[in-house]
């Protein structure tokens, strides 16, 4: 509850009215909040001039202690009821301590420099306002802020800059809170000097507290490892942003803009985050029977995969041969929460370090807002992680940079609204990397190419290279000694050797166990990570909106699911160096408009079945022996409805084609007949004209599969050089003429 002093109240005539308002507020347990743009509201009925260090006690409700000039020591202000401290061009060389609910009012330019842990200490609630400014610095200490508040903190005005003066003060804070944080107006900046230790901008330490931001600006610039701009320490802490600005410049490895295990929501305002740090090295340890830490190590031997004496990869190993401590590296995030819900506002993120991410969480729902996210770092080069005590896996892929990331197979990344401009320029970078399910659009919503706006509207591009490492990995256990800091085992005696570790992405056996044996035999265990557009480990469902993805290099797939994929609607447009659409499971297309043009692999590829029941599907490739549409299943491609045009090389076409709707298929279509011209699919429900892209070569043969919605018999398509005069949808040269 907030009580505001009436606008008509002036300083010279406010004794009874203001005193009554303050008494009412105190009686109701409310905090009096003043608007920075209305300075006449800040008059208190009683004033005490403070020009020297010492202890001062309020005589009643509404007393104003005015500090001015240079004060060479600590000032303690005690009030059992609401009181105010005004800094009026004051320079305090000490700590300002406030007891009771307090207001801090700023006039002119002020500074506080303390040699103690904190510059300002308030045991209960504290509100900062006023038209002036304050620069405060203190060394800080563990979970203690330059401003340390025992209760709630409200930023209602003024310009306040807090400096954590000791770079070795681990877990020191700009503002540490025992209550909640409310930001209404004004500007608060937190700066940390260069150092390796974790520090926090605003730190909420108690359960069931919250950060509520509706106006003003919070700016945090910290350089320490794992530093956090807005830290929600307990899993019941929440953050709600409806306005204002959050600006984070985090240069430490593993740093976060906003971090918490609870719910982080945003419906308005601006979040602007720049992350320049990479990953933070976290050693994996367990305890032995005596309670001592036991560290895990792997011996890594890198080589190039060969087959028949010929190299099939032109790669450089991500990490040099040697023995390394096992890591579970902590990556940088602009937002990392348990649950993240964003329905409005503007989000701008630039992450340049290795493994840097934009937004991540266990459950992420994005239903509105404008997102501009760019990641440019490569994957983490400490690339092994512990699955359990007896199993290791490489984490090249999970360590890659990503604009949007969810964690855990039970997670859901839902994108139902908003505009997205995403870019991943580093090696193995991902635009969207969902560890669980991915949902795009709203079920039942209609999207047409003629629409002028799309919800969601996603555009992204990847331009990084794939990374690859082949390795024999042997696991050892040992005490840390001096090895952990350098990832080296020089001078360290390893006590136990375990079995050989099989890496992820393995291509077949041949490696022996520890100490040699076996041999490569033309295959080896390998790990790799590709520069993906959109990827989900469990499933993908697309319902509506627009998704446009371009990729530039080998491995750069547009939309991938490690499980099943369903496309019910929307506009999907892919121009990719690798598969445009790829599923490890089954692919079902019930509607929508899909354009998939690959320059180096299949347009659409499924390791399971492909069922096309509706929509418009255009799939092209010029690379031999790849396909426009390819299925590894013996039941092949089942076309039951929709309009389908697939063009690939003549040496291999789709595995097979069947279904309830007839299709025309050939492996000997003349490239010169179709390239750059319109394929005319004679009437089914309508006549469809579909433009075939200009191919890299107009000679030779093509494989062609086509079908038109409503066909009862397969029909040989004709071609024309000219588009019809009516019927254009605006979707890659498709005309539908009734």
DSSP 194-233: S-SS-EEEEEE-STT-EEEESSSEEEEEE-STT-EEEEE-
d(CA 265, CA 252): 25
Q: Average of pLDDT values for 278-290?
A: 73
Going by pLDDT thresholds of 50, 70 and 90, the confidence category of residue 447 is: very high
Q: Average of pLDDT values for 481-494?
A: 37
Which residue in 600, 645, 604 sits closest to 624, CA to CA? 600
d(CA 651, CA 668): 9
DSSP 89-140: EEEESS-EEEESSEEEEEESEEEEE-SSS-SEEESS-EEEESSSEEEEEE--
Q: Which ranges of 626-707 would DSSP assign to H, the alpha helix?
A: 671-674
* pLDDT of the residue at 378: 81
- ∠ CA 566-568-570 to the nearest 5 degrees? 115
Chain mean position to CA 149: 31
Pick the range with the lowest mean pLDDT from 74-83, 132-141, 194-203, 388-397: 388-397
* Strand 96-99 with 109-113, pairing: unpaired
Going by pLDDT thresholds of 50, 70 and 90, the confidence category of residue 297 is: low
3-state helix, strand, coil in the chain (%, to 5): 5, 50, 45
Cβ burial of 394 (10 Å; 0-12, 13-18, 19+) is: buried
DSSP 85: E
Bridge partners (DSSP) listed for residue 474: 299, 500
C-beta separation of 587 from 613 below 8 A: no
Check whether 157 has a pLDDT greater than 70: yes
Computed on alpha carbons and rounded to an integer, the radius of gyration of the chain in Å comes to 32
- ∠ CA 106-110-115 to the nearest 5 degrees? 120
- ∠ CA 185-186-192 to the nearest 5 degrees? 125
Q: Average of pLDDT values for 423-428?
A: 93
Share of the chain above pLDDT 70, in %: 75
- How far apart, in Å, do the first and last CA atoms of the chain sit? 63
d(CA 457, CA 416): 9
Check whether 497 has a pLDDT greater than 50: no
d(CA 31, CA 35): 13
d(CA 678, CA 732): 11
C-beta separation of 428 from 382 below 8 A: no
* C-beta atoms surrounding 292 within 10 Å: 11
Q: Which residue has the higher pLDDT, 590 or 36?
A: 590
Q: Average of pLDDT values for 268-284?
A: 89
Three-state SS for 25? helix
pLDDT digits (tens, 9 = 90+) for 306-339: 434 333 333 344 455 566 666 677 899 999 999 9
d(CA 99, CA 118): 15
* pLDDT of the residue at 515: 24
Q: Which residue has the higher pLDDT, 421 or 195?
A: 421
pLDDT digits (tens, 9 = 90+) for 172-217: 999 999 999 999 999 999 999 777 789 999 999 999 999 999 999 9
* C-beta atoms surrounding 121 within 10 Å: 24
d(CA 454, CA 417): 8
pLDDT digits (tens, 9 = 90+) for 377-392: 887 554 455 444 455 5
d(CA 607, CA 601): 14
pLDDT digits (tens, 9 = 90+) for 342-368: 999 999 999 999 889 999 999 999 999
Going by pLDDT thresholds of 50, 70 and 90, the confidence category of residue 646 is: very high
What are the DSSP E strand ranges found in 376-491? 384-388, 391-394, 402-406, 412-424, 430-434, 437-440, 457-462, 467-478
Q: Average of pLDDT values for 274-299?
A: 74
Which residue in 486, 581, 502 sits closest to 535, CA to CA? 581
For the question of whether the overall pTM of this predicted structure is more than 0.85, the answer is: yes
d(CA 251, CA 142): 20
Question: Highest mean pLDDT range out of 4-18, 41-55, 373-387, 667-681?
Answer: 667-681
Q: Which ranges of 15-90 would DSSP assign to H, the alpha helix?
A: 15-28
C-beta separation of 256 from 249 below 8 A: no
Pick the range with the lowest mean pLDDT from 397-401, 420-424, 632-636: 632-636
C-beta separation of 88 from 146 below 8 A: no
d(CA 461, CA 375): 11
Q: Which residue has the higher pLDDT, 205 or 485?
A: 205
Where do the domains of the chain lie?
Answer: 33-243
Check whether 272 has a pLDDT greater than 90: yes
SS3 readout for 243-294: CCEEEEEECCCCCEEEEECCEEEECCCEEEEEECCCCECCECEEECCCCCEE
* pLDDT of the residue at 516: 25
Three-state SS for 673? helix
Going by pLDDT thresholds of 50, 70 and 90, the confidence category of residue 535 is: very high
């Amino acid at each position: 509850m907030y009580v505001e002093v009436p606008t008509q109240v002036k300083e010279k005539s406010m004794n009874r009215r203001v005193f009554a308002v303050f008494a009412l507020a105190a009686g109701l347990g409310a905090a009096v909040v003043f608007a920075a743009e209305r300075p006449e509201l800040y008059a208190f009925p009683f004033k005490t001039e403070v020009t020297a260090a010492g202890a001062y006690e309020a005589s009643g409700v509404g007393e104003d202690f005015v500090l001015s000039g240079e004060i060479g020591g600590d000032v303690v202000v005690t009030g059992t009821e609401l009181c105010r401290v005004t800094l009026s061009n004051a320079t305090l060389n000490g700590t300002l301590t406030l007891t009771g609910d307090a207001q801090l009012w700023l006039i002119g330019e002020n500074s506080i420099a303390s040699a103690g842990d904190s510059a300002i200490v308030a045991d209960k609630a504290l509100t900062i306002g006023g038209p002036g400014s304050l620069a405060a610095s203190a060394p800080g200490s563990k979970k203690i802020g330059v401003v340390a508040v025992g209760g709630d903190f409200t930023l209602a005005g003024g310009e306040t800059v807090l400096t954590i003066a000791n770079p070795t003060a681990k877990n020191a804070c700009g503002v540490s809170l025992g209550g909640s944080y409310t930001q209404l107006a004004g500007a608060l900046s937190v700066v940390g000097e260069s150092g390796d230790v974790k520090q926090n901008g605003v730190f909420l330490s108690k359960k069931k507290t919250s950060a509520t931001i509706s106006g003003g600006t919070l700016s945090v610039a910290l350089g320490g490892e794992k530093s956090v701009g807005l830290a929600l320490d307990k899993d019941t802490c929440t953050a709600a942003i409806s306005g204002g600005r959050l600006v984070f410049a985090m240069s430490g490895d593993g740093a976060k803009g906003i971090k918490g295990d609870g719910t982080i929501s945003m419906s308005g305002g601006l979040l602007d985050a720049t992350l320049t740090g990479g990953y933070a090295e976290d050693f994996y340890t367990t305890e032995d029977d005596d309670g001592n830490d036991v560290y895990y190590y792997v011996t890594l031997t890198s080589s190039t995969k060969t087959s028949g004496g010929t190299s099939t990869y032109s790669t450089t190993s991500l990490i040099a041969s040697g023995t390394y401590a096992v890591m579970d590296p902590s990556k940088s995030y602009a937002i990392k929460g348990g649950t993240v819900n964003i329905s409005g506002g503007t989000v701008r993120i630039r992450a340049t370090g290795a493994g840097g991410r934009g937004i991540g969480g266990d459950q992420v729902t994005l239903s509105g807002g404008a997102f501009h996210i760019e990641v440019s770092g490569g994957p983490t080069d400490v690339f092994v992680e512990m699955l359990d005590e007896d199993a290791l896996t490489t984490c090249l892929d999970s360590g890659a940079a990503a604009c949007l990331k969810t964690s855990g197979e039970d997670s859901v990344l839902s994108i139902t609204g908003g505009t997205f401009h995403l870019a991943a320029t580093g090696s193995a970078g991902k635009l969207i990397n969902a560890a669980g399910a991915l949902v795009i659009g709203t079920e039942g919503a209609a999207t047409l190419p003629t629409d002028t706006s799309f919800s969601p509207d996603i555009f992204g591009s990847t331009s990084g290279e794939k990374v690859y490492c082949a390795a024999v990995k042997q696991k050892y256990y040992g005490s840390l000694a001096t090895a952990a800091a350098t990832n080296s085992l020089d001078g360290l005696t390893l006590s136990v050797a375990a079995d050989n570790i099989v890496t992820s992405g393995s291509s077949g056996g041949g490696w022996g166990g520890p100490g040699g044996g076996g041999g490569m035999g033309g295959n080896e265990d390998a790990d790799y990570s590709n520069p993906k557009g959109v990827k989900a480990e469990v499933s993908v469902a697309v319902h509506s909106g627009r998704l446009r993805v371009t990729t530039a290099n080998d491995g750069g797939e547009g939309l991938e699911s490690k499980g099943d994929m369903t496309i019910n609607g929307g506009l999907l447009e892919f121009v990719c160096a690798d598969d445009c659409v790829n599923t490890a499971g089954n692919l079902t297309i019930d509607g929508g408009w899909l354009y998939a043009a690959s320059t180096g692999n299949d347009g659409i590829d499924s390791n399971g079945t492909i069922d096309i029941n509706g929509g418009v599907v255009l799939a092209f490739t010029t690379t031999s022996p790849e396909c426009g549409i390819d299925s590894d299943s013996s039941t092949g491609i089942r076309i039951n409805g929709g309009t389908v045009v697939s063009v690939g090389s003549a040496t291999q076409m789709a595995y097979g084609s069947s279904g309830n709707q007839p299709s025309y298929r050939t492996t000997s279509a003349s490239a010169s007949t179709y390239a750059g011209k319109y394929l005319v699919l004679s009437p089914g429900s309508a006549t469809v004209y579909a433009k075939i892209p200009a191919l890299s070569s107009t000679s030779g043969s093509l494989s062609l599969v086509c079908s038109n919605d409503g066909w009862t018999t397969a029909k040989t398509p004709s071609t024309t050089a000219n588009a019809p005069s009516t019927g254009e949808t605006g979707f890659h040269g498709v005309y539908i003429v009734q």
